[in-house]
Each structure stands twice: as C-alpha cells, then as structure tokens.
Amino acid sequence: MRVLLVEDDQLLADALRLALSQAAHQVDVVDDGELADQALRDASYDLAVLDIGLPNMNGRDVLRRLRQRNAGTPVLVLSALERLEDRVELLNLGADDFLQKPFHLSELDARVKALLRRAHRHAKNEVELGRIRLDMDARRCFVDQVAVDLTAREFAVLELLLLRAGRVITRSQILDLLYGWEDNQATNTVEVLVYRLRKKLDFSGWDLKTIRGMGYLLEVHRGSIG
C-alpha cells in the first residue's frame, strides 16, 4: 500500500518510515503541511499518517482541504492533543483514527492495518468472516475462494446473519427481510431457507444454529477456526 507520512519531527519520521516500510508499505515522507497538501493532490494514497503541528500549514488544514476535495483517503492523525474537544474537532474534519503521542510502534502497526482493512472492504463492498466472503455488489458468496451457489433469498439471509454474526437473528427479522419477494412464500419458509443455507455452508467453518424460541445464530464451528 502507498502511504503518505507527514511528520516534521525528524527522529519520529525516520522511525515511522522504517516501521511502515517493514510492514511492506511504500512510504513517501514530507515534513511540512503545504507539501503534504500538494502530495495528496498529486498522488493517490491508500493512507495518510498525519501530524497536526506542522510548518506552513497545520495538519487540520491539510485534512480539511483533503475532505473538501471529497477524497476518501483514510487519515490516521498523530497528535499530542489531549483535549477531547480537539479530538472531536479532528473527527468532524474527517480523521479516521488517532494515535496520541507518545505511542508504541506496535500500536501504529495495528491501527494502520485496521484502517487499510476497513478502507479495502468499503471500496470493494464486501463482508468477510472467517472463510466466508460475500461480495455485496455482485451478490455472490465464496467459501475459500470457491463460489457457493445461493438464491437471492438465501444471499439476503446470509448477509443479515454475517453482518450480525455472533448475535441472534429472530425469525421475524428474517421474515421482514423476505417480505415483498414475489414468488410463493409457502415453499420458502424461514425453516427451509435455513436448512438450505446450512447445507451449503457445511464446510465453511460456520454453524448456523437454531436458538430455540429466539431465532438463529451464525457461530464459528467449534475447532474449525483457531
């Protein structure tokens, strides 16, 4: 991934550049707000790591301008700001996450990974859980990269279950979801749908459990995912 690092503290910038490079990112470093603004206009970055106190233009203005251009580049703000109001202001300006100085490099690494994962999923409009992946645009389901043949109804129910994995989905929530589908409801009761989904996801590492009197729950199959 291509990362823009904006930090005017030379020692910190060197350490961050090294850490990001070791995580296999391609890193451009600038030490001034105007240069950062220019770099974000000129190139497409997967992530910006942005200090706030910068020469020539502060990080707030760099962020404000970026969002005014309607750019969705994820921004991780590095800041010594401890006041809640300052952090709220930055979130309102469009920051995606914060690291409060001083921080540990392992925390930077974790937050960068989380932001890139989130941005990637968002861009691709996918939900991935264990070995199951749903492509919401194409309305397709994959287990270990292998396409699983689902009807539109089965896809919709699985989507609901995946988005709320670990929580019980009631029968009436599923009925609400299916309401309005035109063909014969009688042959497509919730029970039949669940039965079919269960068979199709047999080897996915997930169990579709019936919780008596409550509904259904998608849960990791015991022992199948570490």
Residues that bind Ca ion (CB under 5 A): 8, 51, 53
Spatial CA neighbour of 188 closest among 217, 152, 143, 218: 152
Indicate the residue whose CB is closest to Ca ion: 53
Tokens of 111: 């937050």
* Residue with smaller CB distance to Ca ion, 80 or 211: 80
* Residue with smaller CB distance to Ca ion, 7 or 154: 7
Residue 109: CB minimum distance to Ca ion, A: 21
Residue 54: CB minimum distance to Ca ion, A: 6
* Residue with smaller CB distance to Ca ion, 28 or 126: 28
Residue 9: CB minimum distance to Ca ion, A: 5
Residue 34: CB minimum distance to Ca ion, A: 14
Distance (Å, whole) CA 51 – CA 41: 18
* Residue with smaller CB distance to Ca ion, 52 or 190: 52
* Residue with smaller CB distance to Ca ion, 32 or 207: 32
Residue 108: CB minimum distance to Ca ion, A: 16
